[in-house]
Amino acid sequence: MEKIRIAVQKSGRLSEDSLSLLRECGIKFSNGMRKLKSEAANFPIEFLFLRDDDIPGYVEDGVADIGIVGENVAVEKGREVTIAKRLGFSKCRLSLAVAKNAQYNSLEDLEGGNIATSYPVILGQYLKEKGVKATIHEISGSVEIAPSIGLAEAICDIVSSGSTLFMNGLKEVETIFRSEAVLIKGTALSAEKLEILDRLLFRIDAVQRGKNNKYILLNAPEDQLQEIIRILPGMRSPTVLPLAEKGWNSVHSVIQEEEFWEVIDQLKAAGAEGILVVPIEKMIL
């Protein structure tokens, strides 16, 4: 039976989150220390553990069929791969930063200046779109030191919390690209491998929906039932079960995570009691 081969970063937070997602999809595999290859015991997939910068190239060349990388890496490398799925974790941004004491009013302040970065392609495209001309100095690692040693007036680097910039005497001034983990695929997958990929994407969708929704149970008085049902549309409509106590019903539904607290406030105002919220492991439509 044919298998699909996936490239995953061999270490780091992105690797941990990627492997955690695949395990939540019910895929069993081993990834011991220094292990560069592994096969799943219960799904037709083989793992390659690689440097993140190498993953787009391996997928383009067909050594790996699919891979999980940061979108910033996929775009920067410019390989012939497509994004099959946005995964919603390892979110960060690529931003411009200058010295804390530097005067900065707009991007035009960098006209004719020097910017140090490990992402010359993304930065170059951004500057071109904005009509700003600056010299890009490509360096790998320790980009934050560039202004203090006189190499550049600004840097362009990945930012999560901003603490690294702060510790190096820098301030963030422009966000030029927002990134998250993405599942990329090659352009020449066989029909059988595409079918395996579809099965994997189905599992990922179920896990993601589970994370993005909450299962809710509550007690609703009969005279407020219709109002509570209006607040809780659910996947189709809420489940309503009569309680032993006359005049009361148990209502079961699903709430999207982003709407959760607003909906809870509305339910309480409508007379709902005994509200119980349960996490959803997987959700299949």
In the chain, beta strands by DSSP E: 4-9, 37-39, 45-50, 66-70, 82-86, 92-99, 114-117, 135-138, 154-159, 170-179, 181-185, 213-221, 239-242, 248-256, 273-279
The least confident of 5-9, 34-38, 74-78, 281-285 is 34-38
Is there a contact between 34 and 11 (Cβ–Cβ < 8 Å)? no
How distant, in Å, are the alpha carbons of 89, 100, 137, 200 from that of 25? 15, 45, 42, 8
pLDDT digit string, tens, across residues 163-201:
889 888 999 999 999 999 999 999 999 999 999 999 999
Express each pLDDT in 119-165 by its tens digit.
999 999 999 999 999 999 999 888 999 998 889 999 999 998 778 89
pLDDT of residue 153: 94
**Domain ranges (residues) in the chain:** 4-90+180-210, 92-178, 213-279
Decide if 92-178 and 213-279 have a common fold: no
Considering the segment(s) 4-90+180-210 as one domain, its CATH architecture is 3-Layer(aba) Sandwich (3.40)
Task: Name the pTM for this structure.
Answer: 0.86
Give residues with Cβ within 8 angstroms of 169, minimum separation 6.
Answer: 99, 100, 147, 148
pLDDT at 32 over 70: no
**Regarding beta strands 66-70 and 4-9, do their DSSP bridges make them parallel or antiparallel, or are they unpaired?**
parallel
Q: Looking at residue 213, what is its pLDDT? A: 92
Of the listed ranges 65-69, 162-166, 262-266, the least confidently predicted one is 162-166
Q: What is the CATH number that goes with domain 213-279?
A: 3.30.70.120
Fold of 92-178: D-Maltodextrin-Binding Protein; domain 2 (3.40.190)
Neighbour count for residue 124 (Cβ, 10 Å): 16
State the number of CA atoms in the 13 A half-sphere of 24 facing the CB.
20
Q: 207 is written with which tokens?
A: 């896990």
How deeply is 57 buried, as exposed, middle or buried, from its count of CB atoms within 10 A (0-12, 13-18, 19+)?
Answer: middle
Q: How confident is the model at residue 110 (pLDDT cuts 50, 70, 90)?
A: very high
Q: 213-221 and 248-256: which strand pairing?
A: antiparallel
pLDDT classification of 85: cutoffs 50, 70, 90: very high
pLDDT for the residue 234: 63
